[in-house]
């Protein structure tokens, strides 16, 4: 505290002014850092709800007037967006299910056997560019005649889903107390029994996070679908990209398609807000 | 837990019921936990480890899909070392990565300091701020492509509102990489923010109180207390950001395809073209190996910096 010899009233007034200015500056900085996110998503929504004339107008039209759903109708009716949506659900769904089937026990094993060296694999997998899996797998699928099939896509997506589920589950099982399982085993239960009936039910929250993150990362993947899928087996991101380059669609339907891809992910994100960081830094080093 | 007991105990299926009945089950149990990892190891071996090995093996061949492979030893690597286009791709990658690491770190730190304070609608606004992070990269890239459009794009309109001249954005060889970095900044600053925010939440309050009593200014508090304490989190964010920026593919591929010309062709784009436009898998595999070594080297360098900072600090 400074002990300036100012009259009390003047000092209080100045302090109030300074506090108010500071508040305004703070509000402004909040607005500045949040606005880019709002701008892009708002623009996506705006483009998808406007007709083509408004979309190409300059200066740009921000609020759709009147809003139209024609763009959505067009992508679903003329560009089989429904099929691609289904493909994405099948690929991400199965890749996630398989990852859970092998990843949950693996996470448990790693946590209880203290085999932390195995998670180094996850870290290295995180660092490897996706394309480096794609080239060998592409050749194997070609040899097996699996290119252009959903099966090939599901197998490839395991590259994404398995490490994340293993990592999340290992971390989660580590936080569970060992005593309950030990009690179960002293009562004659096997390791399997204590996993199945003691640890697994307790791991529910971890499983939810692992499932959602694996699904989102798989859903967002573009390059696997772009290379391995055929016309009828494209996943959404690959389809949206191909719609852009090969069919030269107008901006409205394109924005509508982009929105259809992103909205499910954003909805899932709301469910696991807090755990996202763990997911995105997975394999990455703890502080 | 004697070592002998563990070695004598044989692997048993996890369904055995009588483990607990016998002495030494604690030691034996340790072994059966490894069985839980086996299915995942099989999958990881098939889709992750096998591709690594196959890639390393392919990189020693002159091999185009559809032709017979010829053993080439290190020829692919030697070829890369003198390949002008590849060397330029490395430069582009480093330029892109440097910007895409430093700017989000600075902005993310600032955003974290803002979100660390209490204010109305903080939770909601933080949710909005972090939305870009999870959004599908391809979808986002499409919207940015439309925003970058020099004639009808909304970005040039926004520039004009501030009295700034229009830019060619991704259509200009000089501006294409900074423009792509802009998308990357938009996409990933929230992740840096969340990592740093986690660090801020764990900060002790005592140093601040005593420093305030000693008459420290806000800037001094930040510079001498906050910054050193969140530094480890910044390093974590830097490692993650470096790995991700080096590997950036989707947005670059969708927005510029490495163009105009090869102005924004990064290692990853070059790699994609070698593999899936020219089907030159031998050469592409060599690129993968070099690329991986670069990523590993940079990640280790950053971790080394962190270790040293820990020892000296």
Q: Where are the beta strands (DSSP E) in A80-196?
A: none
pLDDT in tens, A38-81: 999 999 999 999 887 788 777 888 888 788 888 888 888 877 88
CB contact under 8 A, B47 and A158: yes
Whether chain B has a CB inside 8 Å of the CB on A47: the answer is: yes
In whole angstroms, give the CA distance from residue A139 to residue A145: 10
B196 contact residues in A (CB cutoff 8 A)? none
For the cut 90, the answer to whether the pLDDT of residue B75 exceeds it is no
**Nearest-CA distance B136 → chain A (Å):** 5
Chosen from B47, B126, B302 to mutate, greatest number of chain A CBs within 10 A: B47
pLDDT of residue A221: 93
Mean predicted lDDT score pLDDT of chain B: 85
Whether chain B has a CB inside 8 Å of the CB on A25: the answer is: no
pLDDT in tens, B4-56: 333 333 444 444 444 444 445 555 556 778 889 889 999 999 998 999 999 99
pLDDT of residue A253: 86
In whole angstroms, give the CA distance from residue B136 to residue B154: 21
Say which CATH superfamily domain A75-280 falls into.
MetI-like (1.10.3720.10)
Q: Please work out, in degrees rounded to the nearest 5, the angle formed at the alpha carbon of residue A228 by the alpha carbons of A227 and A233.
A: 115
The neighbouring-strand residues paired with A196 are none
pLDDT of residue B104: 96
- With DSSP H G I counted as helix, E B as strand and the rest as coil, what are the percentages for chain A, rounded to 5? 80, 0, 20
SS3 at position A35: helix
* Annotated domain spans of chain A: 8-68, 75-280
Contact of B215 with B102, CB cutoff 8 Å: no
pLDDT in tens, B122-138: 888 988 898 998 899 99
Q: Which of B234-238, B254-258, B260-264, B302-306 has the lowest mean pLDDT?
A: B302-306
CB contact under 8 A, B247 and A195: no
In whole angstroms, give the CA distance from residue B95 to residue A144: 40
Average pLDDT over every residue of B243-252:
92
CB contact under 8 A, A43 and B154: yes
Which one has a higher pLDDT value, B5 or B183?
A: B183
The secondary structure element, H or E, covering residue B62 is: strand B61-62
Cα–Cα separations (whole angstroms), residue B158 to A29, B152, B161, B168: 18, 11, 5, 14
Whether chain B has a CB inside 8 Å of the CB on A197: the answer is: no
pLDDT of residue A274: 67
For the cut 70, the answer to whether the pLDDT of residue B312 exceeds it is no
For the cut 80, the answer to whether the pLDDT of residue B143 exceeds it is yes
Location of structure tokens 């589920």: A165
CB contact under 8 A, A129 and B276: no
* Domains of chain B in sequence order: 3-73 (no CATH), 78-312 (1.10.3720.10)
Distance of CA B25 to the CA centre of its chain: 43
Predicted confidence band of residue B184 (pLDDT cuts 50, 70, 90):
very high
**Nearest-CA distance B7 → chain A (Å):** 15
ipTM of the complex: 0.86
Going residue by residue through chain A, which has 287 residues, state the pLDDT in tens, using 9 for 90 and above. 455 556 777 788 888 898 899 889 999 999 999 999 999 999 999 999 988 778 877 788 888 878 888 888 888 887 788 899 999 999 999 999 999 999 999 999 988 888 777 777 887 888 888 888 999 999 899 889 888 899 999 999 999 999 989 988 988 898 888 888 888 888 888 888 888 888 899 888 889 889 998 999 999 999 999 888 888 889 999 988 876 555 566 888 889 989 999 999 988 887 777 677 666 666 554 43
pLDDT of residue A41: 94
pLDDT of residue B28: 55
Provide the H-helix boundaries in B135-175.
Answer: 137-148, 154-161
pLDDT of residue B163: 85
Q: Which of A12-16, B80-84, B176-180, B247-251 has the lowest mean pLDDT?
A: A12-16
CB contact under 8 A, A40 and B144: yes
A279 contact residues in B (CB cutoff 8 A)? none
pLDDT of residue A3: 52
**Nearest-CA distance A133 → chain B (Å):** 5
Nearest to B236 among A142, A193, A284 (CB): A284
């Amino acid at each position: 505290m400074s002990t300036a010899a100012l009259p009390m009233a003047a000092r209080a007034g100045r302090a109030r002014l300074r506090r108010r200015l500071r508040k305004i500056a703070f509000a402004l900085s909040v607005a500045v850092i949040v606005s880019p996110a709002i701008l892009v998503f708002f623009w996506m929504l705006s483009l998808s709800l406007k007709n083509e004339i408004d979309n190409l107008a300059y200066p740009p039209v921000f609020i759709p007037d009147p809003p139209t759903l024609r763009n959505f109708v067009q992508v679903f009716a003329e560009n089989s967006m429904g099929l691609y949506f289904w493909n994405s659900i099948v690929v991400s769904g199965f890749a996630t299910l398989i990852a859970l089937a092998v990843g949950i026990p693996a996470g448990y094993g790693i946590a209880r056997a203290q085999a932390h060296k195995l998670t180094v694999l996850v870290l290295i997998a995180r660092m490897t560019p996706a394309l480096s899996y794609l080239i060998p797998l592409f050749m194997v699928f070609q040899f097996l005649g699996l290119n252009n099939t959903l099966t090939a896509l599901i197998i490839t997506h395991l590259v994404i889903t398995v490490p994340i589920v293993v990592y999340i589950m290992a971390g989660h099982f580590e936080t569970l107390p060992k005593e309950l399982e030990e009690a179960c085993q002293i009562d004659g239960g096997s390791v399997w029994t204590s996993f199945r009936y003691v640890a697994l039910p307790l791991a529910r929250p971890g499983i939810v996070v692992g499932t959602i993150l694996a699904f989102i990362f798989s859903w967002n993947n573009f390059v696997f679908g772009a290379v391995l899928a055929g016309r009828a087996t494209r996943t959404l991101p690959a389809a949206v990209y191909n719609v852009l380059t090969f069919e030269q669609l107008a901006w409205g339907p394109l924005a509508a398609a982009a929105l259809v891809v992103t909205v499910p992910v954003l909805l899932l994100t709301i469910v696991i807000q807090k755990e996202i960081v763990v997911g995105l830094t997975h394999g990455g080093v703890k502080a | 837990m004697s070592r002998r007991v563990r070695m004598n105990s044989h692997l048993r299926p996890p369904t055995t019921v009588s483990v607990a009945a016998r002495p030494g089950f604690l030691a034996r149990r340790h072994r059966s936990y490894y069985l839980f990892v086996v299915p995942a190891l099989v999958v990881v071996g098939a889709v992750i480890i096998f591709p690594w090995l196959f890639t390393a093996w392919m990189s020693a061949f002159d091999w185009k899909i559809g032709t017979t492979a010829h053993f080439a030893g290190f020829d692919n690597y030697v070829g890369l070392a003198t390949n002008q286009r590849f060397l330029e791709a490395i430069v582009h990658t480093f330029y892109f990565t440097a910007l895409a690491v430093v700017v989000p770190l600075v902005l993310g730190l600032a955003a974290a300091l803002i979100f660390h304070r209490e204010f109305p609608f903080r939770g909601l606004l933080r949710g909005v701020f972090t939305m870009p992070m999870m959004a599908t990269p391809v979808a986002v890239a499409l919207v940015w492509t439309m925003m970058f459009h020099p004639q009808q794009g909304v970005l040039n309109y926004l520039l004009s509102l501030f009295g700034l001249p229009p830019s060619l954005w991704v259509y200009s060889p000089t501006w294409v990489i900074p423009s792509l970095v802009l998308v990357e900044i938009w996409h990933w600053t929230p992740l840096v923010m969340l990592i740093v925010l986690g660090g801020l939440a764990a900060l002790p309050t005592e140093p601040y109180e005593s420093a305030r009593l000693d008459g420290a200014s806000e800037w001094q508090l930040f510079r001498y207390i906050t910054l050193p304490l969140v530094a480890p989190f910044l390093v974590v964010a830097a490692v993650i950001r470096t790995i991700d920026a080096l590997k950036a593919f989707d947005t670059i591929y969708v927005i510029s395809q490495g163009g105009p010309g090869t102005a924004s062709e990064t290692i990853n784009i070059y790699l994609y073209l070698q593999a899936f436009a020219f089907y030159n898998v031998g050469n592409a595999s060599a690129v993968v190996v070099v690329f991986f070594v670069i990523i590993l080297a940079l990640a280790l360098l950053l971790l080394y910096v962190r270790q040293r900072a820990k020892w000296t600090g």
